[in-house]
Structure 1
């Protein structure tokens, strides 16, 4: 009777063994936002920073490409004049633009290819070395990658200097017969490597590859660490050689890594400026211009034509977007297949 009356009054209503009482309290949503909106709200600060540092300057660059901006506009004595497509027409009619485009494309193709080949070879070597030796080589390589672009240009300008460069000194140390047989000359005193456009870009390629391959090597090394060793052991048992193993196992599994490295290298090498500026000692040799140097020369050399410089920059940006989108689409198609 006591137990029955107690239950009827709701006094002792403890849950049955093995069952948990459901809490009637709802989760506290202090923000008042639905759950699906929280990730988007968290992205807002980052998007605002990107918009302020990247999208707004890009918008201003595009606007300036359709305007005439010179000394009066810089001083603020006269507003910018809208000229439509005149800036683009002017640069397309200039032979310097097409020579700069040719230099940019050829340099990027050679520099990207060499950086990937050298970086991949060094990455495979690092994977074969022991831990201590691999760490030592990685640290030594990263010193080159950590050097700022301007300092890279200074180093290689000193190496190939006509009067005090170590390259001319080393070539003069070769026996006259050997130097004549290899290069067709024995005296290298005062050789102006950086005055000719061809030799200038040879030096620039050395400079960019020297500074760029460590990042590729470390990235390839990280990718190799993620490949199961059982695959290599099975290939070794089947009698597969080193090159066949690399082509059939390593290369397919590292395709995502190579895709990212290729896109990054294309972007970096297409818009190389600091190293070329230092090696050239400013925009002095028009035959050695790339698109970045040509844009700076148009925008800031007297008389300044910032509209034309902006137009060249827009063309370079469009080329980079087209190349990057095309390459990424090819990679995605290969992954889907």
Structure 2
């Protein structure tokens, strides 16, 4: 007998379902699914544009204009002068000494901050949980101190008359002080009068305030490395330096790349600490940030020249950052 349940009405076979239609992208509020992430980024992009891009564009525009006291007061509009501001800046010896101070300071401060922060981060990783938390809280106080307060603290420590540094150096035995420094009496030593000693104090100040962030970042990276790798290295007889070079550094290379770029940017733009330590009278101690602010706001104000110096500093930072990131990508490919 023919099973009628298998036959369609009218004597034909039962119809089989046709091919299913491809799933259409889900919609939210009438928008395709692929566009939702970009729509959600719009508020953040607007904030970035308002707080970063728009001032940057205005700075570039002002660098090609003559903006002085008359223009600021609104009596006359800004005059377009082309590359005149950049030409005057490049012809000024103060610019080149400021550029030298900026680069030399960053070349010394960035490695010192990274080395000290990495060493402290590894130490924190080896400490117990309670002790590690206690040390982290202690060092983060230094990082949380505002830049102006950092300058005030170290200016007081190195004060010629009432500074603790001179007092501590005078406590050293005369033979030891003469052997180390070539002098025994440190009373009234003016640390903040000479450009060389000013930058020595500035390096100490910036490294002291910057290494806690590096240490905590390295510690966070170390928490993600499997402990089995270090146990295997210990079994193989690997020493601390070899373990760091073969395991820690390769696995934390992305972390070190970000920290290096941030340190370069921060140290190139140091202003508040140097302003507190040296003021604006010692032009030999200027860096590019100090020189830009002085040109823009010190009487008579020259906003165009200050903006031109700021543009040069921004371009240098972009070049250095791009070159470093490119080098990191090349190493990753190898």
Scaled by the length of structure 1, what TM-score is found? 0.91
Q: What whole-Å deviation, never above 9, does each CA across 1:205-241 have from its counterpart, x for those lacking one?
A: 0000000000000111111111111111111111111
Of 75, 79, 82, the match for 2:80:
82
Alignment partner of 1:320 is 2:317:
yes
Alignment partner of 1:143 is 2:156:
no
Q: What whole-Å deviation, never above 9, does each CA across 1:175-223 have from its counterpart, x for those lacking one?
A: 2222122211111111110110000000000000000000000111111
| Residues 57-136 of structure 1 aligned to structure 2 (within 5 Å) | 57-136=55-134
| Residues 134-213 of structure 1 aligned to structure 2 (within 5 Å) | 134-213=132-211
Alignment partner of 1:336 is 2:325:
no
Counterpart secondary structure, 1:164: coil
Q: CA RMSD in A?
A: 1.7
Of 43, 51, 54, the match for 1:53:
51
Of 301, 324, 329, the match for 2:298:
301
CA contact (8 A) 2:25 2:33 kept: no
Corresponding position of 1:36: 34
| Residues 215-294 of structure 1 aligned to structure 2 (within 5 Å) | 215-280=213-278, 282-294=279-291
Q: 1:27 to 1:178 in 2, by over 3 A?
A: closer
CA contact (8 A) 2:160 2:166 kept: yes
Task: Mark the runs of 5 or more structure 1 residues left unpaired by the alignment.
Answer: 9-21
Q: How many residues in Structure 1 have an aligned counterpart in Structure 2?
A: 316
**Aligned counterparts of 2:46 and 2:68: Cα–Cα separation in 1:** 31
**Alpha-carbon offset, residue 263 of structure 1:** 0.4
**Alpha-carbon offset, residue 33 of structure 1:** 1.0
**Aligned counterparts of 1:126 and 1:54: Cα–Cα separation in 2:** 36
**Alpha-carbon offset, residue 39 of structure 1:** 1.1
**Alpha-carbon offset, residue 27 of structure 1:** 9.7
CA contact (8 A) 2:26 2:33 kept: no
Counterpart secondary structure, 2:31: coil
Counterpart secondary structure, 2:249: helix
Counterpart secondary structure, 1:140: helix
Corresponding position of 2:15: none
Scaled by the length of structure 2, what TM-score is found? 0.92
Corresponding position of 1:13: none
The runs of at least 4 consecutive aligned structure 1 residues that moved more than 2 Å come to: 26-30
**Aligned counterparts of 2:224 and 2:28: Cα–Cα separation in 1:** 42
Moved more, 27-36 or 180-189: 27-36
Task: Mark the runs of 5 or more structure 2 residues left unpaired by the alignment.
Answer: 10-19
